[in-house]
Amino acid sequence: MIFTVFKKELRDTLRDRRTIMMMIVIPTLVFPLIMSVFMSVSESFQKEAAEKKVKIGLVSNQVGSLEADLLKVPETLGKREFIPFTDTLSLVRAIRADSIQVGIYVPNNAEQLKEAMKPISVTVFHDGTDLGMKERADAYLTYIQENWKKERYAELKIDEAKITPFILAHSNVASSKEMIGKLAGGFLPYLFIAFGFMGCMFPAIDLFTGEKERSTIETLLTTPVPRWKILFGKMGVVVLSGLLAATFNLLGIYLSIEVFNMVKDPVVLQAIKDILSPTFIIMLYALLCPLIIFFAGIMIPIAVRAKSFKEAQSIISPLNLLIILPAMVGFFPGVELNEVTALIPVVNIVLATKELIAGTLEWHLVAMAFGVMVLLAVIAILLSYRKFENENNVIS
């Protein structure tokens, strides 16, 4: 009988346009859309940055070597145009007015200091909110500084290697998969959780409050089917809707990579392909199942008690925030699954999924997180059962 109820409710739910939007259309499209917006924005920024001619104000009373070298900096470091200024005050005003993007102040005695092989204090004026401009000026000056150093070593007949105590090199032992998992891995569980929740919401309201509002529940309760079986049949559809929303989200990621070729970087592409392995998908569902049952189990008692669709929606919708905020914890790179975070609902599943993406799972912590969610799912089911058994809640 549970399956009979389940089958009917699923058919009914799949014919509801609102549910189809929340369960299939939006979850499938959201990742390709985010990716396409992100890519077009980042491509246009890169293009603009490469093509943009940065106007650099130069305060200098003489035309010395530094000024001459600045004009000779290769264009591979970025296009630029130098504009002379007489004082720093007008230079600052011009930066604030955005008529120039950055300014360089060279002291009057620069040439003498250079000849005496003493350091010149060069000041770069910039607007901190105009990203990348300070770095552009730094790059030009560093280029010149490196060239001058080489000239001085030669002039002083110093072997550069002899005054270099060590050469520092960095070797990243984390694989690309780990890097993506730890730094950006929080984004995926966030999407799965958010859509899992939203996927449950409309069916939960429709199958419980909706039945009350449309007065169809009365006839259902006169059939010789125990109420718990009716509840389980309906709950099964709510849970399935949540899981389907997460699945279509996953499908959206797959489409972005395999069909729309949105990820161009071969290293990142390979890392994402490694992440989306069958083991990952099975593990992901194992973690999502109790979480989605928990979601269904907190929505159903509200939906059972509510007198109208509007009332149920007005209570359940703010719950979305309560779920999304802990789900955002995964965005912070330093937060990891440990004995404490494994006990916090939602946070534990986000962090466990993050570890799963990075391939750095600690099984006892995952088991703890899974156990906590299973326990909460059972409590939520019992609460739903209690509310659904109460005739005052079910009949309006």
Partner 1 sequence: MIQISHLSKSFTLNRQQKKELGTTQNSVLAVDDISFECLPGRVHALLGPNGAGKTTTLRMLSTIFKPTKGTILIDNVDAVKDPQEARKHIGFLTGSAGLYARLTPNELISYFGELYGVPKNDIEMRKKKLYDLLDMHDFQNKRIGKLSTGMKQKVSICRTMIHDPQVVIFDEPTSGLDVITAENIIQLIRDCKNQGKTVIFSSHIMGEVDLLCDDITIIHKGKVLYNDTMEAFRAQQQAPNLTAEFIRIVNDQKTELA
State the residues that interact with partner 1 by CB under 8 A.
1, 4-5, 8, 11-12, 15-16, 214-216, 218-226, 391-392, 395
Query: CB of residue 247 vs partner 1: minimum separation in angstroms?
Result: 23
C-alpha 236/C-alpha 19 separation (Å) is: 15
Tokens of 158: 């110093």
C-alpha 246/C-alpha 347 separation (Å) is: 17
Query: CB of residue 225 vs partner 1: minimum separation in angstroms?
Result: 5
In degrees and rounded to multiples of 5, residue 18 shows phi and psi of -60, -45
- Specify the amino acid at residue 379: I
Residue (127 or 389) nearer to partner 1, CB: 389
Residue (15 or 118) nearer to partner 1, CB: 15
Q: How many residues make up the chain in this entry? A: 396
Residue (18 or 72) nearer to partner 1, CB: 18
Query: CB of residue 271 vs partner 1: minimum separation in angstroms?
Result: 44
- DSSP class per residue in 248-272: HHHHHHHIIIIIS-----HHHHHHH
- Specify the amino acid at residue 361: L
Residue (129 or 219) nearer to partner 1, CB: 219
Residue (10 or 269) nearer to partner 1, CB: 10
- Bridge partners of 83? 57
Query: CB of residue 282 vs partner 1: minimum separation in angstroms?
Result: 33
In 22-158, alpha helices (H):
26-51, 65-72, 88-96, 110-115, 133-155
Query: CB of residue 244 vs partner 1: minimum separation in angstroms?
Result: 18
C-alpha 297/C-alpha 319 separation (Å) is: 13
Query: CB of residue 386 vs partner 1: minimum separation in angstroms?
Result: 15
Residue (222 or 261) nearer to partner 1, CB: 222
Pairing of strands 102-105, 54-59: parallel
Query: CB of residue 322 vs partner 1: minimum separation in angstroms?
Result: 25
Tokens of 14: 């799949």
Query: CB of residue 216 vs partner 1: minimum separation in angstroms?
Result: 5
C-alpha 328/C-alpha 321 separation (Å) is: 10
Query: CB of residue 231 vs partner 1: minimum separation in angstroms?
Result: 14
Q: Are 365 and 339 spatial neighbours (Cβ–Cβ below 8 Å)?
A: yes
Please report how the helices 227-254 and 2-14 are oriented relative to each other, as an axis angle in degrees rounded to 10.
Answer: 50
Beta-strand ranges (E) seen in the chain are 54-59, 80-85, 102-105, 123-126
- Where does residue 308 rank: exposed (0-12), middle (13-18), buried (19+ CB within 10 A)? middle
Residue (206 or 355) nearer to partner 1, CB: 206
For 45, 69, 80, 137, 364, the CA distances from 74, given in Å and listed in that order, are 21, 10, 10, 13, 56
Residue (219 or 279) nearer to partner 1, CB: 219
Query: CB of residue 396 vs partner 1: minimum separation in angstroms?
Result: 11
Residue (67 or 206) nearer to partner 1, CB: 206
